[in-house]
């Protein structure tokens, strides 16, 4: 399947912009929850046992705080496909810019572009486990599985950020290369 470069760039811009917006909203909501209770939903990424979840859920026992925590966990499902798409498109843009011909480097970059998709699945599994513990009570098995899913997500996010930086560099290279070529054609030295 082939995708036009203009479509690829447009999809990358939209998914990246929406992912940044969704992350900003989630971070703001989580900051407000943490300011009120001392524990935010993003803190649960570092939890490894049921005791930590019980402590957080106890702090969130008041109805508005429990609802906010549940909403934050649910809203994270909006963010997951957005960052996965953004980072996946970033990988394709990076591969096109820095390894345009079929070779090992291109294959590695394109395989790395799959990591954010795997990370989003891990993120969804971890968030689902956290929601199930919020509703049904925490246990050590679910906490351990949620922690493992969180580690998968963290690795995938680092790979995705590297691909995103590669795509930004490719976009700047394309922009500055075009601007430089235009100046040289008009007789202006760069």
Measured distance CA(145)–CA(109) in Å, rounded: 29
How is residue 25 written in tokens? Answer: 């909203």
Q: Which residues contact 182 (CB under 8 A, 6 or more apart)?
A: none
CB 91 within 8 A of CB 112: yes
pLDDT at residue 178, as a whole number? 59
Mean pLDDT by groups of 10 residues along the chain of 190 residues? 86 97 97 95 92 93 89 96 97 94 95 97 96 92 95 96 96 73 51
Shortest CA distance to 40 belongs to which of 54, 20, 59?
Answer: 59
pLDDT at residue 162, as a whole number? 97
pLDDT at residue 175, as a whole number? 73
Burial of 54 (0-12, 13-18, 19+ CB in 10 A): middle
pLDDT at residue 3, as a whole number? 83
pTM: 0.87
Dihedral sign computed on CA atoms, order 39, 42, 47, 50? positive
């Amino acid at each position: 399947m082939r995708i036009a470069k203009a479509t690829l760039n447009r999809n990358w811009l939209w998914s990246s912009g929406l992912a940044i917006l969704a992350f900003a909203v989630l971070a703001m909501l989580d900051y407000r929850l943490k300011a009120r209770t001392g524990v935010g939903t993003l803190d649960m990424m570092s939890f490894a046992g049921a005791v930590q979840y019980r402590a957080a859920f106890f702090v969130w026992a008041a109805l508005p705080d429990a609802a906010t925590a549940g909403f934050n966990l649910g809203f994270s499902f909006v963010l997951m496909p957005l960052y996965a798409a953004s980072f996946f498109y970033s990988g394709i843009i990076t591969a096109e810019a820095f390894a345009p011909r079929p070779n090992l480097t291109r294959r590695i970059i394109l395989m790395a572009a799959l990591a954010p998709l795997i990370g989003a699945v891990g993120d969804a599994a971890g968030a689902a486990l956290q929601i199930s513990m919020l509703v049904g009570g925490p246990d050590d098995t679910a906490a351990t599985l949620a922690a493992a899913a969180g580690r998968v997500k963290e690795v995938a996010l680092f790979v995705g950020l590297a691909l995103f930086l590669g795509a930004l560099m490719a976009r700047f290279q394309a922009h500055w290369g075009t601007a430089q070529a235009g100046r040289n054609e008009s007789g202006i030295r760069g």
